[in-house]
Every structure is written in C-alpha cells, then in structure tokens.
Structure 1
Amino acid sequence: MRIAIGNDHAGTEYKLAIVGLLKSKEMEVINYGTDGTDSVDYPDFVHPVAEDVEQARVALGIIICGSGNGASMTANKHQKVRAALCWNKEITQLAREHNDANILSIPARYVSLPQALEMVNVFLSTSFEGGRHERRIEKIPCT
C-alpha cells in the first residue's frame, strides 16, 4: 500500500514516528513533510498529499499540523478528498466506517504520540461500511 504523508514544523516528530510505523508494515511512504522544526506553511506540505489522494496515486494520506484544522481545511479543498480531523481512535474509526475518510488529519499539539500511532493503526485497519453511508458520501462534493 502507498501512503502519502505531509506535515508542518509542529508535526515533524509525529511524522517521523508514523513513517517508521508504516515502513514496519512494509508500506511505501511518499514523504512531503518537513523534517525540521523551523516554521513553515502547512499548505505547502498538505496540497501534495491531497493531490496524490485525489489522483489515486496513493491509497490514503496522513497530514499533521499543530491543531489539525488548517491541514484538514487545505486538503478538503480537493475533489475526491475526505480529510478527517481526528483526536482519538474512536473518531478515527467512525471517520473511516461512516465517512470513507481517505486522509487522516492529526492535531500534534492535542494528542500524544502513542495516541497518534494508535489512530494511524485504526485508520489503516478500518474499512468503509458503505450501505446508508454511501449516499451521504455521494452528496459531499460540490459540482
């Protein structure tokens, strides 16, 4: 499985740990994030992840910034992207099951690193339920 990941300066530590987790699962990781802690602009690192998801070059994306809000707002500007801002494993599971989220947005300043890793595991292992949720997903895009 190919996963794209992007982060700003607030998410570097988390990104590095998540990349390690993904590689331990033998996943191919496309890293668009910064590896430093100097202030950068999150859209510069989120747009490439969203473009990869939108164009189906990757199966899923993970984005990380301080609050997760700016990253998810940026990603959700792209058609076919359903970025979910999640702060625990239960919300992450529902985002996949009910909303067919294809990008996980992690708020690095508001969840611990172990929580973030747990959320990534849930995001990767949870499938979309379909059914009644399918018609709702079809109503999301503005055309």
Structure 2
Amino acid sequence: MPVVHLASDHAGHALKELIARELPRLGFTVQDHGTDSCESCDYPVFAHKLCSALLAEGGQGILVCGSGIGMSIAANRHDGIRAALCTTELHARLSRRHNDANVLCLGARITGEELALAIVAAFLETAFEGGRHQRRIDQITPRS
C-alpha cells in the first residue's frame, strides 16, 4: 500500500488521529510523525519531520495545525515540497492536477471533520496532469 506521512501540532492532533484511522480504509499505510497529544507544541518541528521523511522515502504527506497556514509555510521551506493549504475538495483536486502538490495542509479550527476527510480523499485520489503544468512546476523548483 502507498504511504501517507501524517503529522500535526497540538491544535491538529484530534483531526490527525481521525485521518489516521481513515487512511487504511482508503488503501494507504500511515507513517505518523507526531504529535502524540494535545499538549502545546511547535508546529515547525512536526512539519520538518514529515517533510524530511517524505523527501527521503517518497509518498505523500498531510499536515494539520489550527489554521493550516503555519504548517504550509514551514513545509514549503523544503526544496521538493509543494504543500497546499486546502479548504475545499476542489482546492485539493486542483493542487494535485495542476501543481503536483505532495503535501496537503489542513486547518483543524477551520475545516470540519467530514469536509476534511472529503478533502483528504480528493487529494489522494487525484493525479498530476503534467503537460503545461510540468513546465510551470519546473519554473518554481530550484535547480541544483
């Protein structure tokens, strides 16, 4: 089964746990990078853990914090990560089709559980279209 890397801060912990229970039903193996409680913690630590693992091992990632903004900012500091903060299923589909996003960011205080699960499913089931979109990805990806 394909791997989905999953991480959150304290504000996103409950939603992360819900997503972790749903992913095997969608045909994915979960690699959980924390946090393991609702005790206050710093979101960049968990964004960096997830991104490092994803870049080393492959797969896709899901990051959850209160708004989703902090996680998306921290994740996008990594070369090779294209993190998308999505609040609708359409955002999720387009982030995959057009931007080849490899990390989905969600805001637990913004997005309800049912919608969050629908966004996760849309993100994971949508493929990158390539073509003209690849040319654009190449323009934002740093060259070594």
Instruction: Give yes or no for TM over 0.5.
Output: yes
1:12-46 residue CA offsets vs partner (Å, 9 max, x unmatched): 11111100111223422110121211110001111
Q: Is 1:21–2:22 an aligned residue pair?
A: yes
Structure 1 contact 4–58 (Cα < 8 Å) conserved: no
Question: What residue number does 1:12 align with?
Answer: 13
Q: Given residue 21 of structure 2, which amino acid in structure 1 is its aligned partner?
A: G
Instruction: Give the alignment of 1:1-143 within 5 angstroms.
Output: 1-55=2-56, 57-143=57-143
Once residues 36 and 68 of structure 2 are traced to their aligned partners in structure 1, the CA distance between those partners, rounded to angstroms, is: 18
Once residues 4 and 68 of structure 1 are traced to their aligned partners in structure 2, the CA distance between those partners, rounded to angstroms, is: 16
Once residues 65 and 33 of structure 1 are traced to their aligned partners in structure 2, the CA distance between those partners, rounded to angstroms, is: 12
Runs of 4+ residues deviating >3 angstroms: none
Q: Using the TM superposition, name which of 28-37 and 78-87 deviates more.
A: 28-37
Matched residues, number: 142
Give 1:9 shift.
0.7
5+ long unaligned stretches in structure 1: none
Structure 2 contact 26–121 (Cα < 8 Å) conserved: no
Q: Determine what percentage of the aligned residue pairs are the same residue.
A: 42
Once residues 26 and 12 of structure 2 are traced to their aligned partners in structure 1, the CA distance between those partners, rounded to angstroms, is: 21
TM-score calculated relative to the size of structure 2: 0.94
Once residues 140 and 91 of structure 1 are traced to their aligned partners in structure 2, the CA distance between those partners, rounded to angstroms, is: 19
SS at match of 1:34: coil
